[in-house]
Amino acid sequence: MTALIRPATMADVPAIYQLLCDYADDGRLLARSVDEISERLRGFVVAEDHGGVRGCGSLEIFSQELGEVRSLAVHPADHGHGLGQRMVDEIEQMAQQLGLIRIIALTYVPGFFRKLGYHIIPMESLPEKVFGVCVTCPKFDHCDEIAMQKALQAT
């Protein structure tokens, strides 16, 4: 697969929304509204192949040093082609260019992130995430995601 990883545009919002809804329906991601995607579009990348969005992911910034890989999703028919890894690589580059020194991911697939250099950390070590975002999550009292972190190289 020769998908292009590129910054998302407003034209991509409906496809991103649908992809994230499919993952949210399965319980693999939290849902994001069209408005939320649109407001945070500058942080999104997409994997495009033959004019269609085959995957998406975004960078969320919490502090001058901490960012998060969020909303990472690849169309099921495209699993195993490296799109997730390529999008995470792009998100990490965005984070480095902004001067962030570490990046996290909350995930149900720790093996994927472990292969990319992330390691498991206690959720309590992320007050920026827990008290900034997680407190409004419907799963706050019974979160089953695994927190992982990676140190970024200085640019």
> Which domain does 127 fall in, by range?
4-151
Is pLDDT above 70 for 138? no
Average pLDDT of the segment spanning 93-113? 93
Q: Which amino acid is at 105?
A: A
Radius of gyration of the chain (CA): 15
CA-wise closest residue to 68 among 136, 6, 138, 147? 147
Rounded to the nearest integer, the mean pLDDT of the chain is 87
Residue 144's alpha-carbon distances to 6, 59, 104, 140, 147, in angstroms, are: 31, 21, 16, 9, 10
The answer for residues whose C-beta is within 8 angstroms of residue 54's C-beta and 6 or more apart is 1, 3, 46, 47, 48, 74, 75, 78, 83
- 80 is written with which tokens? 């195993």
Going through 62-120 in order, the beta strands assigned E by DSSP cover: 66-74, 102-107, 119-120
**For the chain, how many structural domains are there in total?**
1
Q: What is the CATH number of the domain that holds 64?
A: 3.40.630.30
Q: What is the pLDDT of residues 1-52, one digit of tens each?
A: 578 999 999 999 999 999 999 998 887 888 889 999 999 999 999 999 988 9
Are the beta carbons of 63 and 95 closer than 8 angstroms?
A: no
Q: Which amino acid is at 12?
A: D
Average pLDDT of the segment spanning 56-81? 92
- For β-strands 4-7 and 102-107, DSSP reports them as unpaired
